[in-house]
Amino acid sequence: MTRIIAPIIILFLIIALFWGGISPLIYNTADASRPGILAQRAERDSLNQALERADALTALEEKLNERFGALTPQDLAKLDSFLPDSLDPIEVVVDVATIAKQNGLSVKNIKVETPVITRTTNTAVSTSTIVIGSLGTESFSATVSGNYTQFQRFISDLAKSLRVIDLTALSFTSVDDKDTYQYTINFKTYWLKN
């Protein structure tokens, strides 16, 4: 009789030990402070993937630093003209006026849009100067006069200039001459914020 009962008792003890002791170690989902083995394996896999991505990003950073180190001073000057680390509105006005005059347009008015600052709790919001991440923008408007061909060349030269300029609005009116128009453009330019 003990030959039959002893194995049954041992079997029940093994099952109880598994469900009471070992199973919670493997599948513990009830206690978040003590995750089970499966949850720890999943977390380990996730962390290993994050380490692989970090290694890939480190390699990319080294590659980009190497490419940046290979830039000539002339290339760095072009890059600084393309996206300077500060904005001089007078320089932008002079650049636009020079491009207009090179194309035979007469410049009537170039204005830096005055930012309207609204103060809220410790924050200033501006309608013409906007900071997106580490990129700043400034809005301008200009009025130029000339024929359509001159204006096309002016816009083309603005697009080819080293400085990034986005044309945001354009309007025109006819002047007394049948071939001369007055063009009013609004545009934005960008710079890196420190």
More confident residue, 5 or 38: 5
Q: What is the CATH number of the domain that holds 172?
A: 3.30.70.60
Question: Same domain, yes or no, for 111 and 144?
Answer: yes
More confident residue, 37 or 73: 73
Question: Same domain, yes or no, for 108 and 185?
Answer: yes
Q: What is the pLDDT of residue 155?
A: 92
- Separation CA 158–CA 166 (nearest Å): 9
Which residue(s) pair with 142 in the sheet?
A: 110, 185
Continuous segment of H or E residues that includes residue 156: helix 148-160
Pull the structure tokens for residue 100: 């207009």
| Within-domain flag for 102 | yes
| Within-domain flag for 44 | yes
| 12-26, 67-81, 161-175: which is most confident | 161-175
| Within-domain flag for 76 | no
- Per the CB < 8 A criterion, the answer to whether 167 and 185 are in contact is yes
Q: What is the pLDDT of residue 79?
A: 75
Q: Round to the nearest angstrom and report the end-to-end CA distance of the chain.
A: 86
Q: What is the pLDDT of residue 120?
A: 40
Q: Structural domain tally of the chain?
A: 2
- In this predicted structure, the answer to whether residue 115 has a pLDDT above a threshold of 60 is no
- Separation CA 103–CA 138 (nearest Å): 24
- Separation CA 46–CA 35 (nearest Å): 15
Question: Same domain, yes or no, for 138 and 180?
Answer: yes
| Within-domain flag for 152 | yes
Question: Same domain, yes or no, for 129 and 183?
Answer: yes
Question: Same domain, yes or no, for 119 and 143?
Answer: yes
Question: Same domain, yes or no, for 23 and 116?
Answer: no
Q: What is the pLDDT of residue 125?
A: 44
| Within-domain flag for 86 | yes
- Mean pLDDT across the chain, nearest whole number? 79
Question: Same domain, yes or no, for 119 and 176?
Answer: yes
- In this predicted structure, the answer to whether residue 180 has a pLDDT above a threshold of 90 is no
| Within-domain flag for 150 | yes
Percentage above 90 pLDDT, the chain: 28
3-state SS assignment for residue 125 = strand
Q: What is the pLDDT of residue 33?
A: 63
Give the pLDDT band (50/70/90) at residue 83: confident
| Within-domain flag for 20 | yes
Question: Which one of 21, 47, 69 terminates a domain?
Answer: 69
Question: Same domain, yes or no, for 59 and 130?
Answer: no
3-state SS assignment for residue 109 = strand
Question: Same domain, yes or no, for 65 and 132?
Answer: no
Which are the contacts of 137, defined by CB distance < 8 A and separation ≥ 6? 128, 129, 130, 188, 189, 190
| Within-domain flag for 6 | yes
Give the pLDDT band (50/70/90) at residue 117: very low
What's the whole-model pTM score? 0.54
Question: Same domain, yes or no, for 61 and 109?
Answer: no
Packing angle of the helix pair 89-102, 148-160 (nearest 10 deg)? 140
Q: What is the pLDDT of residue 122?
A: 41
Question: Same domain, yes or no, for 86 and 167?
Answer: yes
Residue range(s) defining the domain that contains residue 49: 2-69
Question: Same domain, yes or no, for 92 and 57?
Answer: no
Question: Which one of 43, 69, 95 terminates a domain?
Answer: 69
